[in-house]
Amino acid sequence: MKKQISKEQILVMLIMFAMTGLSILAALLFPHTNLHSSKDFHLLLTERLSDAIDASIEGPITVSKAMAQDALIHDILKDEENYSEEEIVGIMSSWLKTIK
């Protein structure tokens, strides 16, 4: 089964890249802020990139952990053969909307 990236995931990634880019641009345009050396700039840049990467990874992990603990998901998977694929997709979509 081929996994497709949703429009929301693409939007989140674009926002993260835009924010990172704006942070870099701001640091370059306003060097008089508390960046005393290029070492400070690189440290700041590294921290911001790390935060952006962490944010993109933590979302799916949180959803996976929530799904692993949810009784509704366990019940659906236990009786999976009784549902059509469309029904399961609908149930999962509704469930995912509740945890956002």
Please indicate, yes or no, whether residues 83 and 39 belong to a single structural domain of this protein. no
Entry pTM: 0.35
Helices (H), the chain: 7-29, 38-69, 71-78, 85-99
Do 3 and 31 belong to one domain?
yes
**Is residue 40 domain-shared with residue 76, that is, in the same domain?**
no
Place of tokens 């508390």: 34
Q: Give the structural domain span for 7.
A: 1-57
Record the tokens describing residue 70, joined without a space. 């949810």
Looking at residue 40, its amino acid is D
Q: How many domains does the chain have?
A: 2
Q: Are residues 6 and 50 in the same domain?
A: yes
In a domain, 63, yes or no: no
Confidence of residue 36 (pLDDT cuts 50, 70, 90): low
> What residue has token string 């840049």?
45
**pLDDT range class, residue 34, cuts 50, 70, 90:** low
Q: Considering the domain boundaries, does residue 65 fall inside one?
A: no
Q: Average pLDDT, stretch 27-39?
A: 64
Please check whether residues 5 and 52 belong to one and the same domain: yes
In terms of domains, do 22 and 50 share one? yes
| pLDDT bracket for residue 8 (50, 70, 90) | confident
